[in-house]
Amino acid sequence: MDIYLPIAEVSVNAAIIVAMGLLVGFLSGMFGVGGGFLTTPLLIFYGIPPAVAVASSATQITGSSVSGALAHWRRGGVDPKMGAVLIAGGLGGALIGSVFFRLLQKSGQIDIAISLTYVVLLGSVGGLMLRDAISGLLAKRAGRPAPTRANRHNRFVAMLPWRTRFYKSGLYMSPLAPLLLGLFVGVLTVIMGVGGGFIMIPAMIYLLGMQAGVVIGTSLMQIVAVTAATTMLHAVNTKSVDIVLAVLLLTGGVIGAQFGANAAQKLPAEKLRLALALLVLAVAIRLFVGLTWRPGDLYSVQGPA
């Protein structure tokens, strides 16, 4: 069924967009990630203008993360103080990111900037995840416990001033570290249309050394707040949030997430991590190839923006 998207100004097959949401929802339910890193590239491959893809994907992530955030909150799996600091950083980052976004749009490099950021981040995060997953699998096969990172206190983080206590995270550290982390992820949310969980979660564990029990819940809380703010920024600044597109994605997403969560319970955690690492790397490689191949058309047009 063809549906005309009022903001993207193209006609799309609604079934394909819902299926895309379903697939991303399934994977995000299975791996516990927002899935924005898949939604945005998929929408762009399908022919949605990149600016609209990024903005509407942020809206979808708000929806797909909120029920998880609430569930963790009820279980006490959220550190509100840490979350507040991360959100404060994230909002600042979103503002900075939207300035970048406008500059890149004006100079005509936004599409390439989006792809390049994806390649660099997904490539490095995917590589690290793959290494961890493989060493975990090997250790399990050899009958040893999975190797853990001993370095719970990063030296740079420990040097920062104004230390304060984060009870639930089990930390006594400067709020500057999570603030900067939030800031960085906030910039990415605006430019890439991702929640940033795939960076936030490893950083919380390895860089900040947070208690494992509050990592996912706190990250989800931050994602809901920052993607909501990003939707607002895009709505006001670039006017590229397509409500119809976001609703189609959400329809598939919320259904797919339930199936994904069920599937995850039946699969071993090490295999899941390996699969996620391979998926992230595959997206990075596909985008990298797209950047280096001679494009079908060397010319592109931009209207008065």
Which residues bind to another protein, rule: CB under 8 A? 2-4, 6-7, 9-11, 59-60, 62-68, 70-71, 108-109, 112, 116, 224, 228, 231-232, 234-236, 239, 241, 243-244, 246-247, 250-251, 254-255, 257-258, 291-295, 297-304
Nearest approach, Cβ of 164 to another protein (angstroms)?
30
Minimum gap (Å) between residue 144 Cβ and another protein: 37
| Distance (Å) of CA 283 to CA 110, 120, 126, 159, 279 | 19, 11, 10, 36, 6
Nearer residue to another protein within complex by CB, 160 or 247: 247
Q: How far is the CB of 73 from another protein (least distance, A)?
A: 11
- Cβ nearer to another protein, comparing 59 with 211: 59
CA distance 120 to 115: 9
Decide whether 109 or 151 has the Cβ nearer to another protein.
Answer: 109
Least Å distance, CB 284 to another protein, is 14
Toward another protein, which CB reaches closer, 112 or 146?
A: 112
Which of 5, 3, 23, 26 has the alpha carbon at shortest distance from 13?
Answer: 3
Which of residues 171 and 284 has its CB atom nearest to another protein in the complex? 284
Write the CA distances from 207 to 86, 99, 231, integer angstroms.
14, 28, 28
Residue 36 contacts by C-beta under 8 Å, 6 or more apart in sequence? 57, 58, 60, 61, 192, 193, 194, 195, 196, 227
User: How big is the CA angle at 244 (ends 240 and 249), to the nearest 5 degrees?
Assistant: 100
What minimum distance in Å lies between the beta carbon of 153 and another protein?
A: 36
| Among candidate residues 39, 77, 93, 83, the one with its CA nearest the CA of residue 61 | 39
